[in-house]
A and B are shown apart, each in its own frame.
Chain A
Amino acid sequence: MSVESLQAHTVEAAWLQYDAVDAGPTGLNAFLSVDREGSLTAAASIAATPHTAASLAADLAGVPVAIKDNLATLTLPTTCGSRILEGYVSPYEATAVRKLREAGAIVIGKTNMDEFAMGSSTENSAYGPTRNPVDRSRVPGGSSGGSAAAVASGVVRLALGSETGGSVRQPAAFCGIVGVKPTYGRVSRFGLVAYASSLDHVGVFAQNVFDAALGVELIAGHDPYDATCSERPVPALRQSAVVTDHAQPLAGLVVGRPVEYFTDALDPRIHAHCDASLERLRALGAVVRDVSLSHTSLAIPVYYVLAPAEASSNLARYDGVRYGQRRSADGLREMYERTRTGGFGAEVTRRILLGTYVLSAGYYDAYYRRAQTVRELITQDFERVFADGVHVLFTPTAPTPAFRIGEVSDPYDMYLSDIYTVTANLAGIPAMSQPIGLVDGLPVGGQFMAARFDEATMFKAAAALEYAMAAEGGV
């Protein structure tokens, strides 16, 4: 793999593919807004520029990219898939988007998502669901379903998403592509519209591990506008995604298999694919060891206390006073009520109410404080395993393949879709999903997780597995 393969996909090609797949009643509906004219103009100006050293150095020169609609962009709206921000255009740009553009990328559009990133299917968008390119009757996963579908359908080869509990990895698994959530603090959150600040991450979608590693490398690094963003230097991650030893690339690597991720809740066919991939990892030279992350079963309850708590506060600013939609009323209180009731969808409302409740006087200790304590235990589970000589963990990404649009109606059932991904958000560790097989023609994702700031080892393992599968003839 190389940068050139990404650069081979042009903006013109992106629009050809977009016109073929996105619009119409059975179209993907992956994009909420696009900038055809602007992107073509930008591409033309790059093409017209003589290839100087500087332009060659731009890794993504002329590469079309798609951006999830909760990352602030300067010309296209940033709606977060919500009515309440309909038409809102940010006066500033997210750091991750700026870094991609500075690397030469051309933003062609903003992608659909569950409203404010709350959901696992992209069905919670106020602008209609996105369809899975593999099977258009099915969801692409979520909340970054639009970005996943845009990459899986070949409109773009690189897209930004965001994660709070698995919103990049789960849709990557559902759509059969690579999705990465780096370490918390590796990529600036400046310009990422907050859902749950302590769990929110910017993530990357790509069609292969190398492109994903390159994307992460380009958007990572310290940002003076995000106090939670690390000052650690960013290693050349793309290099760790290149397989050089074709016989035993993972010699010396210890892969942990957390037993709590392989239970009855897991579709047995996905279980079988994971076993096959673990076998491949052994063949590549890795040692596979069973490990225990004993607090795993508490991750979903903890997540659904902490994330709504932060969300209830983060979403308070959508009050109709300064920007976004306002529904007028006689009094201030009535204006707030009408604006927010009319502007937020059911799932967002549910989480705001839940979060308000768990932070209320008298309930804080029982819910929020306890959840923080358990979050710490979950984090320690991982720290212990990594301190104990395990380099990466391998698990399924999601318990099932993509489900049908409308199939999952109970919110709690939907929440369980993130059962294997949410732990990495709670612990802040890097994690990624990549295709490891098909079930009834639907993609299955396998997940690698690594110690904080050790994306390099994670990409190394992922690239080797990808290489082995390609050598077998692909997924």
Chain B
Amino acid sequence: MNTTLPAAGGPIDWELVIGLEVHCQLKTRSKIFCGCATSFGEAPNTNTCPVCLGLPGALPVLNAHAVELATRAALALGCVVHNTSVFARKNYFYPDLPKGYQISQFDQPIATGGTIVVDDTSTPPRAIRMHRVHMEEDAGKSVHDRFRDATAIDLNRAGTPLIEIVSEPEIHSAADAVSYLRRLKQILEYTEVSDANMEEGSLRVDVNISIRPRGQTALGTKTEVKNLNSFSSAERAVEVEFARQRAILESGGRVEQQTLLYDEKRNQVRSARSKEGSHDYRYFPEPDLPPLVLTDDFVRRQQVALPELPAAKRDRFATQYGLGAADIEQLIVNRMLADRFEAVASSSGDPRRAANWMLGPVLAAVNASGGSLIEHTVDPDRLGALITLEAHGDVSNTAARQIFTMMEREPAEPLAIATREGLLKVSDDSALVAWIDEVFAESPTEAARFMAGERKLQGVLVGQVMKKSKGAADPKKVNQLLAARGE
């Protein structure tokens, strides 16, 4: 439906209406209807068989693991998982669609309902409702740039299990759309349903966008934007399309319902296909697959298999560890980091320091190495021991950082390294007095001025003592001794 402009008045307050369709590859070893591997990056058309090639006479058989993962994802999103769902054929011709139809679900999807709470933007937390979650197979890939004047087809991806997660059209800003996607990705990763990686295509996002004058209940004509490679490109695409629709309507035009492709480089959208291509998919129930029947017991078992989800973890971290919201948000960004943090908190007995170490030196080191947290050589027990040394004042913060760097390269315990490197804090008076004497001998001028009452030089002298002790001197004690000497 198109929007009529008011006759007169100032600029219209447009409301943006966004619905998101997310395709997510399920993390199964084999394809949804055959035994072929789902591994990424193989030579073209090697992960194929009569079934996923759509050869005459081949039949689909549903992968039970794909059903488990789809069920888990739906439960994690708070959906109702239906006891009976039905696969249907979506019919259209395309060279990378081997059977001439995609096996999907249509009027009886595996799950409906559910919500994602969007709460990390400036607006107050809001629940975005899910319309549905359904299972389907992926198509192959058309490769247009491999041969001159010809398109190559790679069917390795054909038959990869997907779920499509469709939101209700109730997201009203690009920032909320991205927040929704981030939350969704986090849940899919937590449940280990998917790698949920947009760059690799295991998470694909289509955005439906319309606008209407604020206060109007009827939806405007929507467009669908595809080809989004990252959250930030989704965000920019929404902004660009919002502006485009606004300009059309404000100049008295009509928004045409169509599919658009987002051009990342130009930051523009362009039409994906001519209007003529509006499809009638002629859905009908897939006769080769019986209805998918899930018992209550099956659904319960999947529910039990769910890990603690991000929202629950967030609440627990606040009460159990007393951490600030910003730290918690960073710690629960993925399960591995959150689990690591908990292990370190437990071995050190100091959650606050554990959080600082995880979000500071540990992440920095992991990022610098380009590896992953799981491969990091400083295990939670050793890191906990180091944090304990620091907490008890046995080593200074600076020394602890040095020890940490050494621990990454050798398996030794932090105390052994500190001892060997002389990094344990020295508070023994005689050692400290000896260092002070040396500094006084080496810097007689400053020493004389200090003794003459120039108290501001105390800091400089403490610094020199610290340097001489390679950080091992207890600065508090040095200050006390210097102050006493200057009296």
Contacts and interface: CB of A to CB of B under 8 A. Distances in A.
B137 to A, nearest CB: 14
A85 B480 CA distance: 96
B56 A317 contact: yes
A468 interface: no
A371 B57 CA distance: 25
Interface in A61-83: 70-72, 78, 80
Contact of A316 (B50, B57, B93): B93
B282 interface: yes
Given A310-B287, A317-B100, A368-B284, A224 B56 contact: no
Contact of B95 (A94, A225, A310, A321): A321
B282 A190 contact: no
Interface string B254-288: 00000000000000000000000000101110011
B34 to A, nearest CB: 9
Contacts of A309: 284
A190 B57 contact: yes
Nearest to B91: A313
B481 interface: no
Interface string B432-465: 0000000000000000000000000000000000
A347 B13 CA distance: 59
Nearest to A199: B287
Contacts of A323: 55
Contacts, number: 100
Given A313-B89, A319-B93, A228 B288 contact: yes
Interface centre among B56, B61, B101 (most CB of A within 10 A): B56
B5 interface: no
Contacts of B284: 309-310, 313, 359, 364, 368
Given A91-B50, A228-B288, A72 B100 contact: no
B95 A316 contact: no
B59 A189 contact: yes
A119 to B, nearest CB: 18
Contacts of A226: 59, 61
A387 to B, nearest CB: 23
Contacts of A322: 53-54, 98, 153
Given A197-B287, A227-B290, A313-B100, A192 B61 contact: no
Interface centre among A71, A88, A197 (most CB of B within 10 A): A197
Contacts of A80: 56
A137 interface: no
A317 B59 CA distance: 13
A403 interface: no
Interface string B138-154: 00000000000000010
Given A197-B288, A336-B93, A316 B100 contact: yes
B58 A190 contact: yes
Contacts of A197: 287-288
Contacts of A192: 57
A92 B57 CA distance: 9
A85 B57 CA distance: 13
B54 A191 contact: no
Interface centre among B57, B60, B91, B153 (most CB of A within 10 A): B57
Interface string B284-325: 100111100000000000000000000000000000000000
Contact of B100 (A225, A319, A360): A319
B343 interface: no
B62 interface: yes
B56 A88 contact: yes
Interface string A179-200: 0000000000111111011100
Contacts of A196: 287
Nearest to A78: B56
Contacts of A85: 56
- Interface of A, secondary structure class, is loop
Contacts of A78: 56-57
A106 B100 CA distance: 35
A92 B35 CA distance: 15
B185 interface: no
A91 B300 CA distance: 42
Contacts of B99: 316-317
B290 A317 contact: no
Contacts of B290: 227-228
A225 B54 contact: no
Contact of A359 (B60, B61, B91, B288): B91
Nearest to B282: A359
Nearest to B62: A227
Contacts of B62: 227
Interface string B75-104: 000000000000001010101001111000
A332 interface: yes
Interface string B21-62: 000000000000000000000000000001001111111111
Contacts of B288: 194, 197, 227-228
Interface string A386-401: 0000000000000000
Interface centre among A94, A194, A321 (most CB of B within 10 A): A321
A356 B56 contact: no
Contacts of B60: 227
Given A198-B287, A228-B290, A193 B93 contact: no
A446 B423 CA distance: 101
A373 to B, nearest CB: 13
Interface in B94-137: 95, 98-101
Given A313-B101, A322-B53, A227 B289 contact: yes
Nearest to A369: B284
Nearest to B153: A321
B57 A361 contact: no
Contacts of A94: 57
B101 A92 contact: no
A225 B49 CA distance: 12
Given A197-B288, A316-B91, A72 B59 contact: no
A90 interface: yes
A4 to B, nearest CB: 33
Contacts of B56: 72, 78, 80, 85, 88, 90, 193-194, 317
Contact of A225 (B61, B101, B283): B61
A95 to B, nearest CB: 10
A227 B58 CA distance: 11
Given A190-B57, A336-B93, 19 more contacts: A70-B57, A85-B56, A90-B55, A91-B50, A192-B57, A227-B59, A227-B289, A228-B287, A310-B284, A312-B282, A313-B91, A313-B100, A315-B100, A316-B101, A317-B56, A317-B99, A317-B100, A322-B98, A359-B284
5 contacts: A85-B56, A90-B56, A198-B287, A313-B282, A359-B91
Interface of A: 70-72, 78, 80, 85, 88, 90-92, 94, 189-194, 196-198, 224-228, 309-310, 312-313, 315-317, 319, 321-323, 332, 336, 356, 359-361, 364, 368
By Cβ-Cβ distance, the 5 closest A-B pairs, closest first, are A316-B100, A198-B287, A359-B282, A197-B287, A193-B56
